[in-house]
Amino acid sequence: MKMRISSNFLKSSLVLAASIALFSCNKKDDNNNTGTTPVVTSDIVIVSSNISANTTWSSDKIYQLAGRITVLDGATLTIEPGTIIKGEAGTGANATALLIARGGKLMAEGSETKPIIFTSVADEISIADVAAGSFKSPNLNNTINGLWGGVLICGKAKISASANEVQIEGIPTSDQNGLYGGSNDADNSGTLKYISIRHGGANIGSGNEINGLTLAGVGSATVIENIEIVANQDDGIEFFGGKVSVKNVLVMNNGDDAIDTDQSWSGTLDNFVIITPGDHCFELDGPEGSYSAGHTIKNGTIVAHNSDRTSGDLINTDKNSIVNLENLFFASVKDGQVVNRTTDNPDVNFTNIVINIPSGSIDDYIKDGSAPAGITAGSTSSNKANASVFNGWTFAALDGATSGL
Amino acid sequence: MKYSLFFVLSCLISITAFGNKGIVRGSVIDEDGLPLMSAIVVVKGTTIGTTTDLDGEFTLSVETGTHNLQITCIGYQPLSIEGVNVTEDEVNVLKDLQLKPMSNELEEAVVKAKAVRTNEGALIAMKRRSSTIMDGISSAQMQLVGDGSAIEASKRVTGVSIEDGKYIYVRGLGDRYTKTTLNGIQIPGLDPDKNSLQMDIFPTNLIDNIIASKNFSADLPADFTGGLVNIETKDFPEKKIFKVSLNTAYNPQMNLNSDYLTYEGGGTDFLGIDDGTRALPDGADAQNIPTPISGASKDQVKSFVSSFNPNLSANRATSPLDYGASLTIGNQLQLKGEKKNKLGYIFSLSYKRDYTFYEDVTYSEYQRYKESTKNELRYATIQKGQQGEDMALVGVLGGLAYKTKKSKIRLNVLRLQSGTSKAGIFDIDNDGQAVGQSGYIAKSHNLEYNERSLTNLLLAGDHSIGDGKWKVDWKLSPTWSSSDDPDIRKTAFTYSNLDTSFVAGAGGNPSRIWRYLDEVNMSGKLDVTRDYKLWDRDAKFKVGASHIYKQRDYEILFFDIQFFGNQSWSNPDPSEVLNPENIYPSTTNNIYYQSGNLLLNPNAYSANVNNTAFYVSNEMSPFPKLKTVLGVRAENNVQRYTGSDQAYASGDTVNGTYLDNEKVLDALDFFPSVNLIYAVTDNQNIRFTYGRTIARPSFKELSFAQIIDPLTNRIFNGSLFKYPGWDGKLTETRINNFDLRWEYFMKRSELISVSAFYKTFDQAIELVRIPTQQTSTEFQARNVGDGKVYGLEFEVRKEMGFVSPFLSKLLVMGNLTLVKSQIQMTDLEFNARKNYEKDGENITNTRDMAGQSPYVINAGISYNDPEIGLNTGVFYNVKGRTLYIVGAGLFPDVYTEPFHSVNFSVNKSFGKDRRTSIDLKVENLLNDRLEKFYQAYKADAQIFDSFNPGMTFSLGVSHTFK
């Protein structure tokens, strides 16, 4: 009898001992997430708040984007020629970017001798460098991408989407400043001239990253010319509807498509050079909603392959794409790269498209094996970009990437 | 705590020895099934006797042999129990001895002891007389039927359905409207985002009863609508329990399959604990982690990148069989001394290891065409693959209880620890032609680990005061729980016809996520009951108060791999990605980690709830056959939130939002309840009930958190975020419930009932697809509009003896619920739907309510013969097609497809005293799939997610030691 009692006692003690042992398992220590302000030197202005009143950024300072900075409805951000803007490092919610919300304006008029440079904080380029006419990064080469976000412009022009206004990719859905689209095709989001956007494209989730320059529902009164995108992790320029026209564009070494169009963008892209994007040179989609319109892409030179990098499709169009492609010269192509299109789409027109095929016949470079009218093989073409407009001020030209184009 | 432990131990040592005697234990109940206190129990022809305690329980130490007992109590007819056989050192249990109220004849009622053993009296009597509509299962029933775990047992409760093999829901309403409590206290489950407690960890021999209340009364928490399920653990086992069980299970798809997927974990994974293998590397949560551009040296970057676990690959292996074991002990002891106070204890230790493998899992996203002539859906992403899961669960339950005749104090401890490791390989096809999609082909390896723990303490006291007409019950219960997902890894190569690499804009760069959740829950409760006479009939006045404090800390940390320059993969294999030659600084790939975490993390929050409640209720009978219970409960519920949105976190203190312990819910509500029970005859009731209840948003919902599921890339958005058409103010849903029910009780547990119910929902909360986001799949919980639900419920439990005596051991049970639900759409939703209206489609501004199935069927046939120790049954459960995610516009609605669950079980006990038993179960006999579909007007349904759980065969053996 006594034995039984003590064995019960033993069991009870075990219960307690086991329980206590299990309770004592520990968890991760709490993080102490209290903020500290970054050091501000006299030359560097840390920008951490959205811009709600008219603001000017001058070339005697470097503007460091501490987060996703939005020029809000009604405000104008003026950037003086020769100004350097650097995005802090980050990915996901932490990605830095400059976003022009609907109703906001960006007046960024650089010049051939004083381009405006958007880059990463890791880029050691200085005010003195730019003032001295040295526009190349002293430390980052032209393939390093994903160091910060990019530049996004949201406008009020028509888009062809599931709703009249939708959220731009690259901006978390929770930020309503990322909404674009409307009914004013003549909307004016400002002027962008002589701008070089480098090393950006941080992503906020897979399939949802920041293009070098995102033009979402941007209206036709907006002026955009002489733009360079180098080493962006996502697309070079992506158009989401809108009616803005763009000229003199150079896109080099970006991670995804070079030129990507969606939602019935109805402007013109004129005079451009594309150098080895990670995916397609042109990713051209059609309307997604009931509104329908097309665009024109003309006078371009494309390098789809070099010793370091190879692109995806030369041109990629869909069943409902609406686009006129004129005067394009594919200067360097690899066996296996194709024009990927559907034959049953009468709204995609090719005029003077010349592909410098390395071997075989032109049909080998067309997805379904038969070249449509307007696409021919050739080692040279006079119908192409005037690359000289990029000389002197672009990273690409200064690196020699445009020589011979 | 220390003091009471000492006290308990000293009591244990002073226990009396029993000698050549045996023990008779029993409980006495009244006509309502409630314990009868101070009844006198004597052994006829001896001077041995005792009185019942506050639980109506008694213990007698009697010479071996056969005895007759007599129970008397003032106002009740005496009861004689004949043929009570007492053997040495054995406990003879006589449960639920029911005394009938004194009638004119002073005749003594007589029952045979043998008949008492198969009595299910208390619960049935309670059901019949209960002031709420309830159903349940008692320990007596569970013992008879031989159910192994609470989940098995709850299958027998009508109106209850089981999901995931561990959660129980009442009346087909989803988790938002069901609640589980343990010993009357709300405790968070192992899954803190669910209202329900997982039930598969409670061995039945430690459960006193499981009761599902299907309507509200003032003494219950107001935040349930479908049902409240309470599990009551035993405090004083009637006899010694010392039981060991072993079990194993085999599923042809999941076990002994050489294709099973797993990944290298840590040394203590088998205990459900990560040993640090998946811990966040030192310094990774700092503002600036070492990167090529952070100013860190090359060596610092290399050593930092190398400090992450290099394993990114899912591997094939052969999965073992599932297995589990449990040990259960318990007993009660009579303490030395005149007062014969009792000490009870229970303890259980259980262990489970389950292997799950889905050979063909599909997740996909579909869209509608804009054209009004195109009804079909088109895909945006289809992701197909295989997924393995390895779950380990350790459960410890312990309880000590001390009882005098009029008071009872108990201390319960529950500790659960579980770890689930998941590995999957998926092929992803994204269609660039779909809206917002870039188009790519990728193959991903997904590794996840979820570690959960729960520790619950309960200190409770029941006191009977004065003449026994006053009762005071109190409970204090803290719970600590956590759910962490350390090192979720996703590695997806993007394939093109020319090369294979990581493409940020396509399959994405390799990423890792750490998630931490900690919750503390403190509950305190006091109930005072006074029995009295009103209009010469029994009446009961109840008053009580409770306070619940809950606090949660949550944080997500995110990292992705970046390449400093070009990538080149000669062998695109996830297991080689983090090889030293690829880590910065190197000649190829130059991998480094970039942090997605702001110093002030918008994906971190701290939130708390203070819920204070008071209630009064009075139960009375204005007419002999009409019982009325009128009550009102007041709950003051305040939820506070500390955290910031992304704008604030990234430095925009002007336009961003930071809430510093600010109120996000603040409401004082009164919840009246009316219960009228008209006893048509002794065994027939007509009930009418009205109650007002509430469904409150959860911590997760009322937050600024954005929680991505890396497997599907689906993102849950906290409801504090504003969107076009959504103001960011998620509020409670207030519900009016009306029930009219006729019920007919037959012998034993037989029952037939028919109910009609009607509910109105003010601002129902539903999960909504965010319409403005087209690239990623994002959801948010929102108040969507007012809803109503009406329906009919039929319930039957009938032994088949009336067909033929041969079938008397066959029990047929089932319930059928038919429901019509309706939500009034918001203008936003209505316009979005109109915008995508197809030719011939006629969209109105009402639709089904999310989470409410149009029908629920629970049915079962069981055969139970206690004489030969055999119990077997087949159970069927299905819920009709239920709206899961509210679509609108481009995005179709998502519906949960009916899952026809048919399970078979047989249990046979053997040997002298039937101490050994074997049970065999077959789950999912119809081999049905678990599926959700995108659905739209005249379009073929397309998969949202689809799993094949397959058929599982399990075998268990248990032995109860003497």
pLDDT in tens, A161-192: 878 888 888 787 778 888 999 999 999 999 99
Burial class (CB in 10 A: 0-12, 13-18, 19+), B867: exposed
pLDDT of residue B150: 66
In whole angstroms, give the CA distance from residue A187 to residue B731: 38
Q: How far is A169 from chain B (nearest CA, A)?
A: 6
- Report helix angle A2-23 to B2-13, nearest 10: 160
- Which of the residues B594, B644, B715, B726 would you substitute to probe the A interface, choosing the one with the greatest number of A C-beta atoms within 10 Å? B594
Q: Strands A295-303 and A268-275: what pairing?
A: parallel
Average pLDDT of B706-717?
A: 87
Of B279, B516, B250, B269, the residue nearest B393 (C-alpha): B269
Assigned superfamily of B2-116: Carboxypeptidase-like, regulatory domain (2.60.40.1120)
Q: Of chain A residues 343-402, which have a CB less than 8 A from chain B?
A: none
Are the beta carbons of B866 and B854 closer than 8 angstroms?
A: no
Which residues 541-600 on chain B approach chain A with CB closer than 8 angstroms?
553, 555, 558-560, 562-566, 594-600
Tell me what the pLDDT averaged over chain B comes to.
Answer: 86
Decide: helix, strand or coil at residue B729: coil
For chain A, say whether B517 makes contact (Cβ under 8 Å): no
- How far from B942 is each of B342, B377, B491, B896, CA to CA, in Å? 62, 8, 27, 12
Burial class of B68 by CB neighbour count within 10 A (0 to 12, 13 to 18, 19+) = middle
Residue B162 vs residue B777, higher pLDDT: B777
Instruction: Please write the tens of the pLDDT for every residue from A301-325.
Output: 999 999 888 898 999 998 889 999 9
Three-state secondary structure call for residue A285? coil
Cβ distance B654 to A169 less than 8 Å, yes or no, reads no
- A73 located within any domain: yes
Q: Is residue A403 part of a domain?
A: no
Q: What pLDDT does A369 receive? A: 84
Per-residue pLDDT band for B804 (boundaries 50, 70, 90) equals: confident
Within-domain flag for A404: no
Q: Are B487 and B424 in contact (CB under 8 A)?
A: no
| Interface test with chain A among B772, B828, B836, by most A beta carbons within 10 Å | B772
SS3 at position B792:
strand
Share of chain B above pLDDT 70, in %: 91
Given an 8 Å threshold on Cβ–Cβ distance, is A36 in contact with B599?
Answer: yes
Pick from A373-382, B190-199, B329-338, B793-802: least confident: B190-199
Mean pLDDT of A240-258: 95
Q: Does A202 touch chain B (CB under 8 A)?
A: yes
B1 and chain A in contact, CB less than 8 A = no
Q: How confident is the model at residue B23 (pLDDT cuts 50, 70, 90)?
A: confident
Average pLDDT over residues B900-924: 87
Confidence grade of residue B124 (pLDDT, cut at 50, 70, 90): low
CB contact under 8 A, B889 and A163: yes
Closest chain B CA to residue A291: B370
Cβ within 8 Å of A, B 193-222 = none
3-state secondary structure of B433: coil
Question: Do the interacting molecules here have an ipTM over 0.85?
Answer: no
CB distance from A25 to chain B under 8 Å?
yes
Q: In chain B, what residues touch A205 (CB-CB under 8 Å)?
A: 508, 708, 713, 715, 776
Measure CB to CB from residue B558 to each of A28, A66, A92 and give the nearest one.
Answer: A92
Cβ–Cβ contact A68 with B under 8 A: yes
The CA distance from A69 to the nearest CA of chain B, in Å, is 8
Which residues of A, range 245-264, sit inside 8 Å of B by Cβ?
255-257, 260
* Domain membership flag for residue A349: yes
Question: Could you tell me if residue A2 is inside a domain?
Answer: no
Residue A278 covered by a domain: yes
CB proximity B455 to A under 8 Å: yes
pLDDT score of B745 more than 60: yes
Query: B414, B444, B568, B774: best mutation site toward chain A, by most A Cβ within 10 Å?
Result: B774
The size of the A-B interface in CB pairs under 8 A is: 294
* Inter-chain residue contact A18 with B505, CB threshold 8 Å: no
Are the beta carbons of A173 and B518 separated by less than 8 Å? no
Residue B60: its pLDDT value, please? 84
Please answer yes or no on whether B646 and A93 come within 8 Å at the CB atom.
Answer: yes
pLDDT reading at B849 higher than 60: yes
Q: Are A314 and A366 in contact (CB under 8 A)?
A: no
Phi and psi at residue B675, in whole multiples of 5°? -125, 120
CA distance A217 to chain B (A): 14
Q: Is the pLDDT of residue A32 over 90?
A: no
- Chain A interface disruption, residue of B241, B650, B655, most A CBs within 10 A: B650
For residues B947 and B432, which has the higher predicted lDDT (pLDDT)?
A: B947
In a mutational test of the A interface, the residue from B327, B374, B503 whose CB has the highest number of chain A CBs within 10 Å is B503
Q: Is A201 on the interface with B (CB under 8 A)?
A: yes
Q: Which of A92-101, B604-613, B801-810, B852-861 has the highest mean pLDDT?
A: B604-613
Residues of chain B found within 8 Å of residue A309, distances taken between Cβ atoms: 566
| Weakest-pLDDT range from B4-13, B333-342, B434-443, B534-543 | B4-13
- Could you tell me if A310 lies within 8 Å of chain B, comparing CB atoms? yes
Distance from CA of A272 to the nearest CA of B (A): 22
The pLDDT assigned to B64 comes to: 84
Facing A172 at nearest CB: one of B565, B646, B889: B646
What pLDDT does B155 receive? 67
Please count the helices (runs of H) and the strands (runs of E) in chain A: 3, 26
Does B146 have pLDDT greater than 80? no
Name every residue whose Cβ is closer than 8 Å to that of residue A91 and which is 6 or more positions away in sequence: A146, A202, A203, A204, B558, B559, B560, B562, B594, B595, B596
Which of A202-206, B240-244, B493-497 is least confident? A202-206
Please determine, for residue B87, whether its predicted confidence score (pLDDT) is greater than 50.
yes
Q: Over 50: is that where the pLDDT of B2 sits?
A: no
Contacts with B564 from chain A: Cβ below 8 Å: 144
How sure is the predictor about B900, in pLDDT bands with cuts at 50, 70 and 90? very high
User: A201-205, A328-332, B460-464, B767-771: which range is least confident on average?
Assistant: A201-205
pLDDT digits (tens, 9 = 90+) for B562-599: 888 888 898 899 999 999 999 999 888 899 998 888 77
**Strand B227-233 and strand B178-182: pairing?**
parallel
The pLDDT of B360-388, averaged and rounded, is 93
Residue B410: per-residue pLDDT: 92
**CB < 8 Å to B441, chain A:** none
CB contact under 8 A, A207 and B438: yes
What percent of chain B lies above the pLDDT cut of 90? 46
Residues in A closer than 8 angstroms to B487, CB to CB, are none
CB contact under 8 A, A255 and B499: no
In the predicted model, is pLDDT for residue A25 greater than 70?
no
- For residue B403, pLDDT beyond 70: yes
| Domain-embedded: residue A39 | no
Domain coordinates of chain B in residue numbers?
Answer: 2-116, 322-561+573-960
Q: Tokens 């029911």: give the residue.
A: B98
- Chain B CB contacts of A289 under 8 Å are 370
Q: Would you call B723 and A146 a contact, using CB atoms and an 8 Å cutoff?
A: no
Contact A93, B603 (CB under 8 A): yes
Distance between CA atoms of B630 and B672, rounded to whole angstroms?
8
**Which residues 456-475 of chain B have a CB within 8 Å of chain A?**
none
- At B250 the pLDDT is 96
Q: Which of A173, A275, A337 to mutate to test the interface with B (most CBs of B within 10 A)?
A: A173
Summarize pLDDT for B233-290 with one digit per residue, the tens: 888 887 888 989 999 999 999 999 999 999 999 999 999 999 999 999 999 988 788 9
The interface residues of chain A toward chain B in range 129-148, judged by CB-CB distance below 8 A, are 141, 143-147
User: In 3-state terms, what secondary structure has residue B938?
Assistant: coil
Mutate to test the interface with B, among A36, A49, A86, A162 (most CBs of B within 10 A): A162
For B:46-85, CB contacts with A below 8 A are none
Question: Which residues of chain A have a CB within 8 Å of the CB of B649?
Answer: 67, 93
Taking the CA of residue A176 and the nearest CA in chain B, the distance in Å comes to 6
| Cβ within 8 Å of residue B61, ≥6 positions away | B18, B21, B22, B23, B48, B334
Q: What is the predicted pLDDT for the residue at B738?
A: 94
Residue B98 C-beta-side C-alpha neighbours within 13 Å: 16
**Average pLDDT of the segment spanning B546-563:** 92
B599 chain-A contacts, CB cut-off 8 A = 33, 35-36
Domain range for A237: 44-398
Q: What pTM, to 2 d.p., does this model score?
A: 0.86
Domain-located, residue A154? yes
Q: What homologous superfamily does CATH list for B322-561+573-960?
A: TonB-dependent receptor, beta-barrel domain (2.40.170.20)
Are A207 and B430 in contact (CB < 8 Å)?
yes
Q: State the greatest distance between any 2 C-alpha atoms of chain A, in Å, as a whole number.
A: 108
Q: Name which of A373, A309, A375 is nearest A338 in CA terms.
A: A375
pLDDT at A18: 41
Which CATH number does the domain housing residue A83 bear? Answer: 2.160.20
Banded pLDDT at B185 (limits 50, 70, 90): confident
Q: How many domains does chain A have?
A: 1
Whether A88 contacts chain B with CB within 8 A: no
Higher confidence at residue B132 or residue B312?
B312
**The pLDDT of residue B488 is above 90:** yes
